[in-house]
Amino acid sequence: MTVEKGAWDALRSVSETRLVDLFKAEPDRLSRLSFDECGLHFDFSKTHLSTALVDRFSELAEACGFAAKRDALFAGAVVNLSESRPAEHPAERGQGAPESVARARNFHGRMRAMIDAIEAEVLGPIRHILHVGIGGSALGPDLLVDALGRDSDRYEVAVVSNVDGAALDEVFRRFDPQATLLVIASKTFTTTETMMNARSVLTWMDEDNVDDPYSRVVALTAAPEKAVEWGIDETRILPFAESVGGRYSLWSSIGFPAALALGWDAFEHLLEGAAAMDRHFRFTAPQANIPLIAAFVDQYYSRLRAAETRAVFAYDERLRLLPDYLQQLEMESNGKSVKTDGSPVDGQTAAITWGGVGTDAQHAVFQLLHQGTRLVPVEFVAAIEPDHVLDDSHHRALLINCFAQGAALMAGKANDDPARAYAGDRPSTTILLDRLDAARLGALLAFYEHRTFANAVLMGINPFDQFGVELGKEIARSIESEGTERFDASTRALIARGLG
């Protein structure tokens, strides 16, 4: 028996206790399972993590070589084994191998110079930023601008990812081609959707007689040579390192539209907030290590209690894109079936991440959370300080609802009528930001990145590759280039009906 298998067996032997009973049995539970870091408060006490479970999970982490793997991540060692490269997103925040940190600083310097040039109208009078990219080249910047840029009158930013022409069409109706900067974000600079959208934006500019549309383009990429081949002048390419994964790239030049819209200081605060969370993750012992504790919760529910999903509800309009962002981060990273050595994973890997915005979600999906048959661990994310001009009653109502849901899920309520009874014992985690600003958002997103990494270590998988997305792309390409003969009857019929 391997040490890891022994650790899992020990975990399975810990008896299940109802949440309300855990509070009775462990009087110090709230203080042991609540943590404050980087302006964020984390409360894991309404999950089933008991003292015994935290101890057993810490043993599992040790058996999996967690500390050494975390050190390897920060040292810039090759942790993405299938692609033989490091995962150097922490270096973007100044936490990594010195040469990688220096390279990231240099690239950030180029971003900053480009922002200065745009502000000085070197590329013409720019009011609109049209960012085209997809997946990790869109979700992060979109979240940042939506969360932090609502009051910003610096530029109007649109992030377009979908190849569906309706997405660009909507932006073309409100943007002025003469005042638009096209930002093409693609790590590989080969992604079909992004390249097609970028070409259509250039055509739109050309049709409006924009003088030299290519001079209105900035490229964000880890493949600068491809951007040059595509026709973009070297001086308008903002590179980032190949070792920064797409879904971990918002800290690199991929964050350019956010840095432009929010200002460079805000972008630096974002990096500093993330760096503070990096230090916490790097130097804190397992029992108090917040991303690792969150991973214990994830592993407990998905592996030991067979939960298929985890739901994230942002009780803050500004974080409405957080569930979308987390879907890629968690599911593209850990939605795998094999371990780093190629052997099958024993048990489930990443839960299906989904979610929404409170209080809207309460009136749509919370019925299932309270009374459905499925176990769904819930995460609430809220900010103590509001950021709107309406009176306090709105924010009070928002937070009261958030806290009430967690209490109701846990306590439940008996009723003689089964249709009106609430079983309770349904787990939730609450993350409370003291306010939503760049530093705290940086810390929050770095927390999620490290939690994803910690989950991967506990499961023995590589969170930094994503071969699962390739087959569909390959087939789509072959439909265009090779015709349809080799497909099954259903696919052939759909192609004939849909494409004529």
> Catalytic positions, please?
332, 363, 473
Nearer to ligand F6P, 191 or 243 (CB): 191
- Which of 22, 129, 134, 217 binds ligand F6P (CB under 6 A)? It is 134
337/404 Cα distance (integer angstroms) = 37
Please give the torsion angle defined by the CA atoms of residues 402, 406, 412 and 417, in that order, rounded to the nearest 10 degrees. Answer: 30
Backbone angles phi, psi at 182, to 5 degrees: -90, 120
Residues 307-336 that bind ligand F6P (CB under 6 A): 332
- Which of 31, 82, 162, 188 binds ligand F6P (CB under 6 A)? It is 188
Contacts of 6 (CB under 8 A, 6+ apart): 63
- Which of 191, 252, 302, 428 binds ligand F6P (CB under 6 A)? It is 191
Secondary structure class of 353 (helix, strand, coil): strand
Residue 38 corresponds to which tokens in the numbers above?
């980087």
Question: Residues touching ligand F6P: how many (CB under 6 A)?
Answer: 14
Which range of residues in 124-132, 186-194, 305-313, 443-451 is near ligand F6P by CB under 6 A? 186-194
User: DSSP readout, 246-293?
Assistant: GGG-TTTGGGHHHHHHH-HHHHHHHHHHHHHHHHHHHHS-GGG-HHHH
136 is a site residue for ligand F6P (CB under 6 A): yes
Residue 72 corresponds to which tokens in the numbers above?
């390897």
Which range of residues in 45-53, 143-151, 183-191, 413-421 is near ligand F6P by CB under 6 A? 183-191
137 is a site residue for ligand F6P (CB under 6 A): yes
Which range of residues in 101-109, 119-127, 188-196, 255-263 is near ligand F6P by CB under 6 A? 188-196
187 is a site residue for ligand F6P (CB under 6 A): yes
DSSP one-letter code for 219: E
131 is a site residue for ligand F6P (CB under 6 A): no
203 is a site residue for ligand F6P (CB under 6 A): no
Please name the residue that has the structure tokens 């390739």.
470
Contacts of 100 (CB under 8 A, 6+ apart): 76, 86, 88, 91, 241, 243
Question: Based on the number of CB atoms within 10 Å of its own CB, is 309 exposed (0-12), middle (13-18) or buried (19 or more)?
Answer: middle
CB of 80 to ligand F6P, least distance (A): 12
255/253 Cα distance (integer angstroms) = 5
Nearer to ligand F6P, 221 or 340 (CB): 221
The residue among 24, 42, 23 whose CA lies nearest residue 296 is 42
113 is a site residue for ligand F6P (CB under 6 A): no
Which range of residues in 100-108, 180-188, 267-275, 398-406 is near ligand F6P by CB under 6 A? 180-188
Which range of residues in 55-63, 152-160, 187-195, 490-498 is near ligand F6P by CB under 6 A? 187-195
Residues 226-255 that bind ligand F6P (CB under 6 A): 246-247
Residue 197 corresponds to which tokens in the numbers above?
């959208």
CB of 292 to ligand F6P, least distance (A): 25
The residue among 6, 37, 45 whose CA lies nearest residue 427 is 45
CB of 194 to ligand F6P, least distance (A): 5
- Which of 50, 80, 186, 334 binds ligand F6P (CB under 6 A)? It is 186
Residues 437-466 that bind ligand F6P (CB under 6 A): 466
Residue 24 CA: distances (Å) to CA of 33, 50, 204, 219, 411: 14, 12, 65, 57, 13
- The binding site for ligand F6P (CB under 6 A) comprises 134-137, 186-188, 191, 194, 246-247, 332, 466, 469
